[in-house]
Structure 1
Amino acid sequence: MDSDLRRYLDELVATARDVLGDDLVGAYAAGSVGLGAYQPGRSDVDVALVCAGPLTETAKRTLVARLRHEALPCPARGLELVAYQRSVAAAGNPAPGFEVELNTGAEMPFRCTLDPADRPPTDGRFWYGLDRSILHQSGLPLLGPPAGEAFADLSPADLRHLLIEALSWWLALPTPPDDRPAPGAQDAVLGACRSLVRHRDGVWLAKIAAGRRLLDTGEQAEVIRQSIAARHGGPPPTGAQARAFQHRVRAEIADQPE
């Protein structure tokens, strides 16, 4: 792990323990860090905290104040932190269920949400259940028991519903009206690759690794190759290419009966 990132995560956990005391029972690196795909200068830092019970509003606001970028500078593009009660993490429920959500960083819009009900539906409510599924498989423990013990996975039906919901959310985003390369289209394609690999093979992979697995298993999709190349400076696919691939992935996932 990058030394700056390691130092930052150590300081983050120490700060969270200072705020929450014995109520903090676990801390886990998720996302690209947990999946072994962290790229300095590009990746976010995703962290999940597990607390013994519900947090007071004072504890939530203090945690945000102490962990936001202005107080604890994040060495990455930004920090995406979510805190869950231990019972929620262990339930395998698809609902958001978080205590507090914080997005903060030099290159990330600030977000502080203290109640799942305040999360705008248009921003997507599927992220949390999927993130906890990834944590169940690949969370990196910073404090507490193994992530597979702290986080339960989703049921197959709930997982499929959230994957479909996520793909539908991406498809609803505006795209350029012509066939010019669309900024961000590569992330939409590679995110769909990750969903398809999870659906087919039962494993979460980092986005580029998921794209490569599909290519290695015979998936004939030039849009995947172009999306991987775009991650290394090449032009992204067009919006039309990305949407066509996403529609195909969503149709395959939705076709499986309950």
Structure 2
Amino acid sequence: MAEPLRPYLTELVTVAGEVLGDELCGAYAAGSVGLAAYQPGRSDVDVALVCAGPLDRAVADALVARLRHEALPCPARGLELVVYRREVARSGTASPGFEVELNTGARMAFRVSYGPAERPPSDGLFWYGLDRSILHQSGQALFGPPAADAFAELAPEDLRRLVVTALRWWLERPVPAGQVPAPGAEDAVLGACRSWVRLRHGVWLPKVAAGQRLLDSAGPLADAATTELVERSIFARDGGTPPPGAAARAFQQRILAALTPA
């Protein structure tokens, strides 16, 4: 675990236990923390809580009130918290299936959703199944049983469908035209690398490691232009100039085509 986060995550689990009591079955560091790729100043803190059953709205409201940044300051860009029922976490479902989702932080817009019906489909409902797949592989237990026991892996066909849906969602996002450097384009490129690696090699890797894996093993896909694009994206994660949006989009389209053969 990233040491600067340890006191915060310890307090988060304590607060969650005070609110949920015996209903709290587990707490897990996900995302970059789970993948041992947390980058101070850039990464969010992703946490998944597992509860025994459906949350009463009053309890869910109390959890949000106690964990939002104003009550428990997040030392990172922000906290992305998702609460799942135990049966959902263990089911391997591709459906969102969450009880509460909270985004909060000094550099993150506050947002709370009480179930998938409150989240606009345009914002993507594929994230949750993919996140639970990453949790199954690499989640760090802060409380409760190991993440591999708390979260089931998705069926291969469901995983592929969600990965492809995610790539198409990213392609629908507007990007600057031409060769203008586009902040965030590096994450689009490296996120596409991570999708490719997961479906071709069966493992979730941090974005930078996924970019390097693609360059090392993609064969014809890793031509000179792709190598330059991926390397530039890796450097941008440490403050370098991001790649042009148009180049990032063209790369995403190539990855999508490689993962969806006719």
The equivalent of 1:212 in structure 2 is: 212
The equivalent of 2:261 in structure 1 is: 255
CA contact (8 A) 1:186 1:231 kept: yes
The Cα of 1:216 is off from its aligned counterpart by 2.0
Once the two structures are superposed, residues 26-80 of structure 1 have per-residue CA deviations (whole angstroms, 9 ceiling, x without a partner) of 0000000000001111110000000000000001110000000000000000000
CA contact (8 A) 1:186 1:237 kept: yes
Once the two structures are superposed, residues 207-236 of structure 1 have per-residue CA deviations (whole angstroms, 9 ceiling, x without a partner) of 011001111225231211111011122211
Establish whether residue 101 from structure 1 lines up as the match of residue 107 from structure 2: no
- Give the Cα–Cα distance (whole angstroms) in 2 for the partners of residues 61 and 215 of structure 1: 46
Query: Structure 1: 5+ residue runs without aligned partners?
Result: none
The equivalent of 1:243 in structure 2 is: 249
The equivalent of 2:76 in structure 1 is: 76
CA contact (8 A) 1:30 1:47 kept: yes
The Cα of 1:237 is off from its aligned counterpart by 1.0
Establish whether residue 130 from structure 1 lines up as the match of residue 136 from structure 2: no
Once the two structures are superposed, residues 112-154 of structure 1 have per-residue CA deviations (whole angstroms, 9 ceiling, x without a partner) of 0012111001111110000000000000000111100110011
- Give the Cα–Cα distance (whole angstroms) in 2 for the partners of residues 187 and 92 of structure 1: 27
CA contact (8 A) 1:130 1:162 kept: yes
The Cα of 1:251 is off from its aligned counterpart by 1.2
Provide the aligned length of Structure 1 versus Structure 2: 256
CA contact (8 A) 2:2 2:36 kept: no
CA contact (8 A) 1:160 1:254 kept: no
Report which stretch shifted further, 1-10 or 48-57.
1-10
The equivalent of 1:33 in structure 2 is: 33
- The 3 A distance-change label for structure 1 pair 134 and 243 is same
Query: Structure 2: 5+ residue runs without aligned partners?
Result: none
TM-score when normalising by structure 2: 0.96
Establish whether residue 66 from structure 1 lines up as the match of residue 66 from structure 2: yes
Report which stretch shifted further, 65-74 or 39-48.
39-48
The Cα of 1:178 is off from its aligned counterpart by 2.2
Moved over 6 A (4+): none
SS at 1:103's partner residue?
Answer: strand
The equivalent of 2:240 in structure 1 is: 234
The Cα of 1:21 is off from its aligned counterpart by 0.2
The equivalent of 2:155 in structure 1 is: 155
Establish whether residue 17 from structure 1 lines up as the match of residue 17 from structure 2: yes
CA contact (8 A) 2:29 2:46 kept: yes
CA contact (8 A) 1:78 1:106 kept: yes
Amino acid across the alignment from 1:72: L
Amino acid across the alignment from 1:81: L
Establish whether residue 223 from structure 1 lines up as the match of residue 229 from structure 2: yes
Amino acid across the alignment from 1:4: P
The equivalent of 1:191 in structure 2 is: 191
